[in-house]
Chains A and B, each alone.
Chain A
Amino acid sequence: MTRRIALRPLARILEARRTGENPDEIERENLRLRHEQMRDKLRLRAESRLLMLACCFCAAFLAVGVKMTALATSVPEEPSINTSHSSITSTRADIVDREGRVLATNLVTNALYVHPHELIDPEAAAAGLADIFDDLDEETLLRRFRSGSRFMWVRGSISPEQQQRVHDLGEPGLLFGPREMRLYPNGAVASHVMGGARFGEQAVNAAEILGVAGVEAEFDEDLRDPARNGAPLELSLDLTVQAAVEEVLAGGMGLMQAQGASAVLMDAHTGEVISLASLPDFDPNARPAALTEGDPSQSPLFNRAVQGVYELGSTYKLFTIAQALEDGLVTPTTMIDTRGPLRMAGFEIGDFHNYGNSLSVRDVMVRSSNIGTARIAQMIGPERQQEFLGALGLLDPIDFEMIESRQGRPIVPSNWGQLSTMTISFGHGISATQLHLASAYASLLNGGTRVRPTLLRRDDPQQGERLISEETSRILRAMVRDVVADPIGTANLGEVPGYEVGGKTGSADKPNPQGGYYDDRVIATFASVFPAHDPRYVLVVTLDEPSIDILGETRRTAGWTAVPVAAEVIRRVAPLLGLRPQDVDHEATYQLSSASQ
């Protein structure tokens, strides 16, 4: 604080009075000076405040600017606090069966690669590697090490033991890259459904896994989708049932000296495929190469149940009779003329046995009369037959969750005339896959609504469109039951006490690639449902070229080959599915109640 100067200093006033000046001027002068001083001070303060404010603004803008520059020049980085939920460790989701048992998973292994220029002792390294990996040749390795390249792969995936042995070589030029390997712990079980996988794009520290067949290929995108967050793909298969089916089938195939065997076990209401087996099979962990020549259907990779398009023989009689019953053309007791042979357009239709002059519709089915079925088909006519088989889905490739299913395109006659109608009625001149047959049987016998097969687990029955009435379905169920239960039925070896098996056999001569049909090679099929009064499951078993010597005769028909195998499958599998055998009393009650309805 500056000392305040008095406005009228006495000394100057007295001085002024003496010289005759006006002392008021002194006062005014001083006042002016004082005001000027005050103004200067205020301005100075205001200026300093402005400066202060400007500094603050500058500092603030500078801070913002620095932060912005830092953000702009640094690598963007996710807030680490948000990544705490990323739990994906593998890039491809697991596949599990309906009980959650692992069918396919990933294992972290290592790929082995070499930087040849970093090798200290290439000879020793080549010798060591040749010693660890049997199929590597020391000479070749050494030549490649010296070819001047700076990088080479040795192995796509190696086991931990092998990795340790490579470590023990102590070569700085041998390097490992992490790899995820697709593992099928169950080996050949369900191999056709699984398909297999291979490495796609490879880099040093990762490799893409691509599905090559089966569900791996069908759901390839889906399994690799990061949005799954590791949730496994749940299939409808049951691993235990699948293993049991394959075991029984392999036994039956050996016993019947068959070329191949396949089976489809399907839930009759939900359409879930519980088991899908095709023999011979393969190990998806080491998927064999596809055949480059010859018949692809001879390869173990060939899925007979889904890709194999065969004439399925008399199993088609069910469709003919179902349609005739539904349209009211016949009743189970209507007598059909079965005098043979039946000649039509230069073609002769005969029966395996002579069944006399006539059979009831039920007996046409039970004893499998071709002539009888052809006569019923004549009543139906080509257009309506075509329409009905189309509605059952037997004329188009099946929409199924395996890429192979698109190859299972049914073969239908180009000219669907009266003769075709008659041969198709007992399953000749038309070909489809076993899966087609299984879904058609499920659709007709489950109460009459269409069922489409699926490999994905689902809980509720399918609400498919109605194909035949409940009542027709019930009659058909009684008929297929009689095919097995009646001692003269073609599938009388298929009886499994307690499980009321019902079904229809089919034996079709194999077509000769040179034209015509073989005399001694058949495809034997048994399409069955159990329990017949309220079908839960549909089982279709097919044997390729079976033959067995029983009672001094070589038997090839399905009744002697596919039926006993199917019966054994049901005996093994039904308890695993939790089906309790129905006691005899219960069965009698059922027949009474169904008769009174």
Chain B
Amino acid sequence: MRGFVTILAAIAVIALGYWAYHQNIQTQQALREVERLQRAIGVERERLVVLRAEWAYLNRPDRLRELVDLNFDRLNLLPLRPEQFAVMDEVIWREDMPAAAETEGEEDILYSASQAEERP
């Protein structure tokens, strides 16, 4: 009986040792993976910063204005004027889409942050 317990204990110790070793190896692998991913994230972030800066640079107002001037023949873009605000009622709807006109008839076309249209 006593010998049996001893053997059992020995087997348990070996098994636990193996388990602990295995966990250790797995943890190290996971840490290495995390480190690799972090490096990759860092590289991507750096790229993101560059892309964001490039996006901002390409969208700078001066450049857009030049492009608008260059392409005026085709695009006819002009600065937004007050006259361009309108209400939904002024839109002539195509016959095949009456539903939109009914449901949104009271809505402003252009986004207006000032206030809702006041009507009698």
Q: Is A462 an interface residue (CB 8 A)?
A: no
**A101→B45 CA distance, assembly (Å):** 18
A579 proximity list for chain B (CB < 8 A): 112-114
Q: Is A296 an interface residue (CB 8 A)?
A: no
| Stretch from B1-9, B16-24, B81-89, B92-100 at the A interface | B81-89
> Cβ of A574 and Cβ of B49 under 8 Å apart?
no
Q: Find B46's partner among A83, A89, A189 (CB 8 Å cutoff).
A: A89
What residue in chain A is nearest B82 (Cβ atoms)?
A581
Query: Contact string, B105-120, partner A, CB cutoff 8 A, digits 1/0?
Result: 0001011111101100
> Cβ of A105 and Cβ of B114 under 8 Å apart?
no
B15 proximity list for chain A (CB < 8 A): none
Q: Is A577 an interface residue (CB 8 A)?
A: yes
| A584 → B minimal CB distance (Å) | 13
A244 proximity list for chain B (CB < 8 A): 79
Q: Is B104 an interface residue (CB 8 A)?
A: no
| B31 → A minimal CB distance (Å) | 6
| A461 → B minimal CB distance (Å) | 15
> Cβ of B53 and Cβ of A185 under 8 Å apart?
yes
**A244→B84 CA distance, assembly (Å):** 17
Query: Contact string, A107-128, partner B, CB cutoff 8 A, digits 1/0?
Result: 1100000000000000000000
> Cβ of B60 and Cβ of A574 under 8 Å apart?
no
> Cβ of B108 and Cβ of A580 under 8 Å apart?
yes
**A438→B35 CA distance, assembly (Å):** 54
**A243→B79 CA distance, assembly (Å):** 12
Q: Is A90 an interface residue (CB 8 A)?
A: yes
> Cβ of A81 and Cβ of B31 under 8 Å apart?
yes
| Stretch from A311-319, A329-337, A491-499 at the B interface | A491-499
Q: Is A578 an interface residue (CB 8 A)?
A: yes
Once A497-B82, A572-B79 are accepted as A-B contacts, the answer to whether A239 and B53 lie under 8 Å apart by CB is no
Q: Is A288 an interface residue (CB 8 A)?
A: no
B115 proximity list for chain A (CB < 8 A): 580
Q: Find B112's partner among A84, A107, A580 (CB 8 Å cutoff).
A: A580
Once A84-B38, A186-B61, A499-B82 are accepted as A-B contacts, the answer to whether A577 and B113 lie under 8 Å apart by CB is yes
> Cβ of B35 and Cβ of A101 under 8 Å apart?
no
> Cβ of A186 and Cβ of B62 under 8 Å apart?
yes
Q: Find A183's partner among B53, B112, B113 (CB 8 Å cutoff).
A: B53
Which residues of A from 21 to 67 have beta carbons under 8 Å from B?
A: none
Q: Is A247 an interface residue (CB 8 A)?
A: yes
Max count, chain A CB within 10 A of own CB: residue among B52, B55, B61? B61
| B6 → A minimal CB distance (Å) | 15
> Cβ of A247 and Cβ of B56 under 8 Å apart?
no
A102 proximity list for chain B (CB < 8 A): 52-53, 55-56
Q: Is B57 an interface residue (CB 8 A)?
A: yes
> Cβ of A498 and Cβ of B112 under 8 Å apart?
no
> Cβ of B57 and Cβ of A185 under 8 Å apart?
yes
Q: Find A84's partner among B34, B49, B53, B59 (CB 8 Å cutoff).
A: B34
Once A577-B113, A578-B114, A579-B114 are accepted as A-B contacts, the answer to whether A498 and B82 lie under 8 Å apart by CB is yes
Q: Is A586 an interface residue (CB 8 A)?
A: yes
Once A186-B62, A187-B62, A580-B108 are accepted as A-B contacts, the answer to whether A107 and B118 lie under 8 Å apart by CB is no
Once A189-B61, A580-B114 are accepted as A-B contacts, the answer to whether A89 and B81 lie under 8 Å apart by CB is no
Q: Find B35's partner among A80, A240, A247 (CB 8 Å cutoff).
A: A80
B61 proximity list for chain A (CB < 8 A): 186, 189, 239-240, 243
**A589→B85 CA distance, assembly (Å):** 20
Q: Is A379 an interface residue (CB 8 A)?
A: no
Once A80-B34, A186-B61 are accepted as A-B contacts, the answer to whether A105 and B56 lie under 8 Å apart by CB is yes
**A243→B82 CA distance, assembly (Å):** 18
Once A239-B61, A247-B65 are accepted as A-B contacts, the answer to whether A580 and B56 lie under 8 Å apart by CB is no
What size tier do the contact residues of chain B reach?
A: 35 or more
Which residues of A from 76 to 109 have beta carbons under 8 Å from B?
A: 80-81, 83-84, 87, 89-90, 101-102, 105-108
Q: Is B80 an interface residue (CB 8 A)?
A: yes
| B90 → A minimal CB distance (Å) | 12
B84 proximity list for chain A (CB < 8 A): 575
A189 proximity list for chain B (CB < 8 A): 60-62
What residue in chain B is nearest A578 (Cβ atoms)?
B113
A106 proximity list for chain B (CB < 8 A): 49, 53
Q: Is A536 an interface residue (CB 8 A)?
A: yes
Once A102-B53, A107-B53, A579-B114 are accepted as A-B contacts, the answer to whether A185 and B60 lie under 8 Å apart by CB is yes
Q: Is A204 an interface residue (CB 8 A)?
A: no
Which residues of A from 501 to 536 have beta carbons under 8 Å from B?
A: 536
B42 proximity list for chain A (CB < 8 A): 89
Max count, chain A CB within 10 A of own CB: residue among B45, B57, B81, B83? B57
Q: Is A555 an interface residue (CB 8 A)?
A: no
Q: Is A198 an interface residue (CB 8 A)?
A: no
| B43 → A minimal CB distance (Å) | 9
Query: Contact string, A551-589, partner B, CB cutoff 8 A, digits 1/0?
Result: 000000000000000000001101111111100001000
| B66 → A minimal CB distance (Å) | 12
A497 proximity list for chain B (CB < 8 A): 82
B35 proximity list for chain A (CB < 8 A): 80
**A247→B79 CA distance, assembly (Å):** 11
Q: Is B77 an interface residue (CB 8 A)?
A: no
Q: Is B25 an interface residue (CB 8 A)?
A: no
Q: Is B11 an interface residue (CB 8 A)?
A: no
Q: Find A576's partner among B34, B38, B80, B112 (CB 8 Å cutoff).
A: B80
Once A80-B35, A84-B38, A578-B111 are accepted as A-B contacts, the answer to whether A571 and B82 lie under 8 Å apart by CB is yes
**A579→B111 CA distance, assembly (Å):** 9
**A575→B80 CA distance, assembly (Å):** 7
| B40 → A minimal CB distance (Å) | 13
Beyond A83-B38, A105-B56, 10 additional contacts (C-beta under 8 Å) are A80-B34, A87-B41, A87-B45, A90-B49, A185-B56, A189-B60, A189-B62, A243-B65, A244-B79, A581-B83
A-B interface, 7 closest residue pairs, ranked by CB to CB distance from nearest: A578-B113, A243-B61, A185-B56, A102-B56, A185-B57, A580-B112, A581-B82
B contacts, CB < 8 Å to A? 31, 34-35, 38, 41-42, 45-46, 49-50, 52-53, 55-57, 59-62, 65, 79-85, 108, 110-115, 117-118
**Can you show 24 pairs from A to B with CB atoms below 8 A apart?**
A80-B35, A81-B31, A101-B59, A105-B52, A107-B49, A107-B53, A108-B49, A183-B57, A185-B53, A185-B59, A186-B56, A186-B60, A187-B62, A240-B61, A243-B61, A244-B79, A496-B82, A497-B82, A499-B82, A572-B79, A575-B80, A575-B82, A578-B114, A579-B113
